[in-house]
Structure 1
Amino acid sequence: MKCVSNKVCYHSKGEAEEALIHLQAKYRTASGGGPTSTYWCPDCGYYHTTSKGEKSATLQSAEVKKRIEVQKEANYWEEKFKGKF
């Protein structure tokens, strides 16, 4: 699947929300940058992530915030030890 926007396409809103959580853990900066919501694209009929608009309710839940923090910590240690063993 390909979109004229060249963005990654997700089959469902749920799939896009999971990607959003993963991207927040992977690329989140101190300034809170990166994708913060999802939307349905009328050009391709799939969902995309975006940094525009209101922050997704999914990202505001305590459970998801905890998941993001745990994944960020795991990512940190994975990078720290990459190639060390």
Structure 2
Amino acid sequence: MDLVRSAVRHAAKQCGLQQRVRGTHIFRHTIACRMAQSGAPFKEIADLLRHRSLDTTTIYAKVDFLSLRRVALPWPRRRP
């Protein structure tokens, strides 16, 4: 695992991303986000990542707010 971690850190440094990418968890975050964006159920993502709790999965599978804006209805306004 140290070899993979070192390779990821080296690649991030070469790309100028060392502040954002610090290790191999970037791969877990990426797959979780992509699965969530493609509509996979959180249970399926949790199983793949071997999480015991869906709360842990929500940390990895961030909500894509830009995509949600395209489908969200406007908030109802109060009538005066």
TM over 0.5: no
Structure showing greater Rg = 2
**Structure with greater helix percent:** 2
Q: The TM-score by the shorter chain falls in which range?
A: 0.3 to 0.5
